[in-house]
Structure 1
């Protein structure tokens, strides 16, 4: 995949994104931590000791641009490779060339390198034959060989803010004016283009260029022209990459945080991006128990019903069902006692010797069980209270695993605590905050 301001096919003219490619880090819009004075990237350039660098982030935010700017600042020839087009032969050829002249090798989509390509790249990095910059949209700690990660400096790039995107759009407007095309764009229209581009500068400039192209001398951008440019344009959403997991994470954390508006926003992002509704429903089911749990048992019922419904009803109607279930989880009182309890119990089971099942709790539904000593079980339903005091798990004290998260609200957990405390005379262990 190409990156910000990457040169497209030449048809007698230079695309606007390519024409505005920054030459140095000083010209970069955005990535302030990366390009600020004293940053690790600046220090490495100043020391002429770039080494191996991995630039990681979504499309259109400047990975290729930064790599080219670094090459310019180091005074080294920029040699781009693409993991899906250039094989071991090209990599070795460039490595041989690097031994006689200073080169900066740039590999786009480095996560697509084969094992053989990665091995050759590693040898170049270890020998210091050339400086290397790799670009990837995938998390390098997941997508790249650990040996390459350990030999590289990892720098994460963030999507541009809307204010930074407005600067990109204005830079495009100024460049077009210098070329004799005066674009009249109202501030709110500039902000709309900036916002609809989702932090992707190349996308913003491509949209601006499509609005301006074909006009002689001057063009006044109308709202209808912008609507046409964005007709059926989906929000960037990579269903297999980091963005997928980041948006899902924001969605479930908004439900956990009891923010219905944020829950609907991130749900809408997932729906608009074409996320599988069955996947969304599964996430809602999980968090109905993980975050609501005993505070409202009906949340899980709603989530399960939603999962069953989306199996029968596809988009667009199932968006209502998903919103219903997600809002139930978001609006319900919260309890983490289920998650903590099973986690603590599993931790104990995997680390401590197994406890023997008491004789009176062992199976007694067969002839001869009594002769084996499987007697003494007290049947709770024979007691008018529906409860008798007896030990069920030797060595497991009350509150060892389950600790109530009951708060002031009249939740199921709160009512259950009051019921059992009154019945047994024992206080219910609660989580200490």
Structure 2
């Protein structure tokens, strides 16, 4: 018997589960599929979201000769075999090439298609689970329309599972009943991947020899084991998660921050978590809580020594501390402004009175002669110019409004107000 995920594959756009943002009534991809005018397209999104199904439906609406390749095991010779068919009686209407997992083709393999895409002899529909802007050759991108397929919602997967039950009953000649909550649980732990949900459903349907199969919560949990959480620490998802992680801490949301920490922990990428926490401690908390980086560094060192699974505990401590702490990016802004001036301005020389004077003859060159030692003055402060002449009116550090920096601001104001 064919796998359920293959048996259930729809033949029309109307029967495709989910993706209403591109396949709903009046949406662009649906209009293209219906009128048969097929441009070069890239389908981008997670597994089990309908990319291959939609490509097949579109291909069947054309008079082009259809070829299918999977870039994980195809080669240049496979492309050459297709090119040989161009212009023959077998491809009089042109060729439509469906190339799955195109990110696995290297630049040279992708370039081999360019000439034929440009002159229209080959229409390319490719799919990828990775961000095409990172993995696909720019010339292919510029000649293709990109459609993003999103993770399916629970209700979409639930609909697919119910359709799957009808098909299984027909093929197995068994009666399949179910608890609604059990089926909803299977939809939830599929984590947006209909194929995974159907595989679990198929497992449940063949789990017994009785003529009637009852899918209750116990059977649903037994067949699913764990959720379909996917994480590629070398892919686009990794950087999206790190971004959400830092933005949640910056936004003072400890619950969201802990959630994204859990995702990162599941990836097993301890180094990326630790590096990002140390950056956040200075970039987003900074001078509002100067001790934050010290505590975070200690938590990071403990995590590195412990390794997973115990490392999760000091990491969680660091995350909750940073998310709950007052925020300031004044230190980052200050150094960024200073670096920008160095890149874009004539910054001039170090003032003579600040130059190194710890060598014989320095005074004859005017080095350090007029320097005033602040500790010789009240409050350890004396007014003198420290910036180069060309930058003497520049202000880089602008205190944020928080308890610690307000104290700094008050202190600087007090000593600089004294003569």
Please say if 1:200 is aligned against 2:193.
yes
Aligned match of 1:429: none
Q: 1:200 to 1:405 in 2, by over 3 A?
A: same
Please say if 1:230 is aligned against 2:224.
yes
Rounded Cα–Cα distance in structure 2 between residues aligned with 1:98 and 1:60: 32
How far 1:398 sits from its partner (Å)?
5.8
1:305-316 alignment to 2 at 5 Å?
Answer: 305-316=298-309
How far 1:242 sits from its partner (Å)?
1.3
Please say if 1:87 is aligned against 2:87.
no
Aligned match of 2:322: 329
Aligned match of 1:23: 11
5+ unaligned residues in a row in structure 1: which ranges? 1-12, 427-433
CA distances 1:380-409 after superposition (whole Å, capped 9, x unpaired): 1111212222211133356632222224xx
Contact 1:83–1:109 (8 Å) recurs in 2:
yes
Please say if 1:58 is aligned against 2:46.
yes
How far 1:94 sits from its partner (Å)?
2.0
Deviates more, 1:102-111 or 1:68-77: 68-77
5+ unaligned residues in a row in structure 2: which ranges? none
Q: In the comparison of the two structures, how many residue pairs are matched?
A: 410
Deviates more, 1:88-97 or 1:157-166: 88-97
Deviates more, 1:221-230 or 1:260-269: 221-230
Contact 1:105–1:132 (8 Å) recurs in 2:
yes
Contact 2:39–2:144 (8 Å) recurs in 1:
yes
How far 1:234 sits from its partner (Å)?
6.1
Aligned match of 1:382: 376
How far 1:43 sits from its partner (Å)?
3.6
Rounded Cα–Cα distance in structure 1 between residues aligned with 2:103 and 2:342: 39
Rounded Cα–Cα distance in structure 1 between residues aligned with 2:36 and 2:229: 40
Contact 2:233–2:269 (8 Å) recurs in 1:
no
CA distances 1:249-271 after superposition (whole Å, capped 9, x unpaired): 21111111111111111111221
CA distances 1:194-227 after superposition (whole Å, capped 9, x unpaired): 2211111111111111111143432122333233
Task: Indicate the SS of the match to 1:132.
Answer: strand
Rounded Cα–Cα distance in structure 2 between residues aligned with 1:417 and 1:195: 52
Aligned match of 1:413: 405
Contact 2:101–2:127 (8 Å) recurs in 1:
yes
Task: Indicate the SS of the match to 2:328.
Answer: coil
Please say if 1:391 is aligned against 2:385.
yes
Q: How does the TM-score come out when normalised to structure 2?
A: 0.92
1:20-419 alignment to 2 at 5 Å?
Answer: 20-99=8-87, 100-102=91-93, 103-179=95-171, 180-215=173-208, 216-231=210-225, 235-272=229-266, 274-374=267-367, 375-394=369-388, 395-396=390-391, 400-407=395-402, 410=403, 412-419=404-411
Deviates more, 1:141-150 or 1:389-398: 389-398
Contact 1:254–1:263 (8 Å) recurs in 2:
yes
Contact 2:352–2:366 (8 Å) recurs in 1:
yes
What RMSD in Å do the two structures reach over aligned CA positions? 2.0
Q: Which runs of 4+ in 1 moved over 6 A?
A: none
Q: 1:386 to 1:165 in 2, by over 3 A?
A: farther
Deviates more, 1:172-181 or 1:279-288: 172-181
